[in-house]
Amino acid sequence: MTERRYDPVTGEWRMFATRRQDRTFLPAEDACPLCPTKEGAPATEIPLPAFEVVVFENRFPSLVREPPEPDVAGSALYPVAPSTGATEVVVYSDDHHLGLAEMDVARIARIVDVWADRYSELGSRDDVAYVFVFENRGVAVGVTLHHPHGQIYAYPEIPPRARRELDVAIAHIEDFGTCVYCDVVARERADGVRVVAHNRSFLAFVPFAARFPYEVHVASVRHAASLLDLTDPERLALADIVQRVVVAYDGLFDFPLPYVMSMHQAPTDDGEHQHVSHLHLEFTPLHRTAQKLKYLAGSELGAGAFINDTAPEDTATRLRGVGTAGQ
């Protein structure tokens, strides 16, 4: 069963992919499907002896270019649709232990280039409305493969959280005449107390109303709707700031801090609102202390209302203490 179903109570589409239940689960390092293929050994997912960055289609996809017909018939109350789109894996490095914190910044800039290329290529498809670049890192956020990698989902419609941000941004323009995220960046630069790191083109900060204790957003200082708006020096600056955030995370409790990284860019089928989105990355680690996690429980899951047990100004101070703020 690979199909999408619409929930009439929340107005949200959900993806169903029962084959994913059997996906590879935390294999031993010598059976890693994301490592290069060794001479004489069976091929991994990547039939190359070495590589810099590799992108391939997820073997256990929830969205595909040519989806099967849905198993069930839809209706006015319960619409059903094929799982149109794409799910890709971006392998950051051919070294099982070389992650964003350890590699040269120039190598991270190559990953940024890959993100931009895939955004452009997947986004040009008629059946793709939104390209979502993200990374799940660490078993605490459900990672099933340890090898450093991220993912890209190409959704057939703008997903709920992106839709919400877009609606709020449009309302802000109508009310104030400005991009809300530009206003946020200006305010964070002025206040300074929540800044974690910055360089000429990007600002990393704990959001004023953060959902998670060590949540960090990375935003383009000037208005850019997507990676495609960035110059090469800006792509390098993005690589630099991403590395600084991850280095700060890893130094915080002296272990690689699990996190979800989500990149928010402009929808790719929405010319009218192309200028509204403001490129930013959201890092959401679950830890609230070295031993304790922030769980999404009743208030968050059932009501959508987040409780944060920490002051964003305090967690920003702690992250600045381990990272290197500014250039």
Catalytic residues: 149
Position among 66, 209, 271, 272 found at the interface with a second copy (CB under 8 A): 209
Neighbours of 166 (CB within 10 A): 19
Give the number of other CB atoms < 10 A from CB of residue 181. Answer: 21
- Binding residue for a second copy, selected from 35, 145, 184, 319, defined by CB under 8 A: 184
> Of 57-86, which residues contact a second copy (CB under 8 A)?
62, 71, 75-78
Among 115, 119, 132, 214, binds a second copy (CB under 8 A): 132
For the bound state, the minimum distance from the C-beta of residue 72 to a second copy, rounded and expressed in Å, comes to: 8
- Touching a second copy, residues 149-168 (CB under 8 A): 151, 153, 155, 159-165, 168
Residue 185-204 contact track with a second copy, rule CB under 8 A, x = bound: --x-----------------
Closest CA to 239 of 197, 276, 211: 197
Q: What's the DSSP call for residue 67?
A: P
Report whether 70 contacts 22 (CB < 8 A).
Answer: no
Q: How far is the CB of 25 from a second copy (least distance, A)?
A: 7
Q: Are strands 202-205 and 216-220 parallel, antiparallel or unpaired?
A: antiparallel
202 φ, ψ (degrees, to nearest 5): -135, 150
In the complex, minimum distance from the CB of residue 302 to a second copy, in angstroms, rounded to a whole number: 3
Q: Which is nearer to a second copy, 50 or 303 (CB)?
A: 303
Give residues 264-323 in contact with a second copy (rule: CB under 8 A): 264, 282, 284, 288-289, 292-299, 301-311, 314
d(CA 115, CA 155): 15
Q: Which of 193, 192, 191, 199 is nearest to 219 (CA)?
A: 199
